[in-house]
Structure 1
Amino acid sequence: MMLFTEVRGLPVVPSGPAGAGPLGTVVSLTVDIASGTVSHVRFRGGRLRRETALAWDAVDTIGPSAVRVRSTASAEPAVPHHGLLGHRVLTEAGSAHGTVLDAAFDTSTGRVLAVFTTRGEVAPERLLGIGDHALVVRAA
């Protein structure tokens, strides 16, 4: 298990031979709310320091010192997304449930284990959707 805030800022490196330089630095993780999993690792790197999204399937391992990737073949220019961190949280009825501070996920599967808000923990089964305005969750 790791927290989103622990992954942010880690170098993204190829899994291949030692000595290969980093591809960039993790900016954020994209979550597919429907499946409750991390769908992409977003990183900034290269000569132009552009943000790139890499599908979760390309991730080999995530550890405390780096995100190792098998291939960058699935890398694509990052399209706008809604990150969890810092998002306002609303219940389906529109009641405020704080702001997202962090999220825990399984580094092997990418499955979101919990979302931590200023008003407590939200189980992943309660996640309904995310948009420009807020993360929407089922009422407890």
Structure 2
Amino acid sequence: MMLFTEVRGLPVVPLAGAGPLGTVTSLAVDVASGTVSHVLLRRGRFGRETALPWESVHAIGPGTVRVRSATAAESVPPRHDLLGHRVLTNTGTAHGTVLDVAFDTRTARILAVFTTRGELPAGRLLGLGDHALVVRAG
């Protein structure tokens, strides 16, 4: 298990080849499947953000994200960073703000979402948009 905040800022390094490809800026989530779908990274301070599909990740840790391939995703996911997102239930009740997300580094499965109002199990995730993360009312 690892937290999104632990991955942010890690260097992305290819299994074979030269130095780092960039630094992790965020992880994109497919809420429907409850998994991390892409690793978003930036090369240098002013570099363009690139999305690598999760399938290209070989391992995370210690201190790096190692990838099999540096081939960017053909379709880049919408830029929704879960961290700091407002959380609403499907009935419209506010449930705080996302502080962190725990996920399995081998399967990319989301395990839990930690908010300012407590922990939410991954099974309650319904949708993610510009405005909020929507979860099933519990």
> How far 1:42 moved relative to its partner?
0.0
2:4 counterpart of 1:4? yes
Partner of 2:127: 129
Partner of 2:13: 13
Inter-CA distance 136–36: structure 2 relative to 1 (3 Å threshold):
same
Q: Distance in 2 between matches of 1:49 and 1:77?
A: 19
> How far 1:128 moved relative to its partner?
0.2
Structure 1 residue ranges without an equivalent (≥5): none
Partner of 2:55: 57
Inter-CA distance 68–127: structure 2 relative to 1 (3 Å threshold):
same
Q: Among 72, 77, 90, which residue is 2:70 paired with?
A: 72
Is the CA contact 2:50–2:72 (under 8 Å) kept in the aligned structure 1?
no
Is the CA contact 1:51–1:78 (under 8 Å) kept in the aligned structure 2?
no
Q: Distance in 1 between matches of 2:33 and 2:76?
A: 20
- Moved beyond 3 Å, runs of 4+: 74-80
Inter-CA distance 129–15: structure 2 relative to 1 (3 Å threshold):
same
Q: Which residue identity lines up with residue 133 of structure 1 in the other structure?
A: H
> How far 1:16 moved relative to its partner?
1.5
Q: Among 113, 116, 119, which residue is 1:118 paired with?
A: 116
Inter-CA distance 112–88: structure 2 relative to 1 (3 Å threshold):
same
> How far 1:80 moved relative to its partner?
3.7
SS at match of 1:57: helix
Out of 128-137 and 48-57, give the one that drifted further. 48-57
Out of 97-106 and 43-52, give the one that drifted further. 43-52
CA offset digits 1:4-47 (Å, max 9, x no partner): 00000000000125xx2000000000000000000000000169
Q: Distance in 2 between matches of 1:47 and 1:133?
A: 27
Q: TM-score, normalised by structure 1?
A: 0.93
Partner of 2:85: 87
Q: Which residue identity lines up with residue 56 of structure 2 in the other structure?
A: A
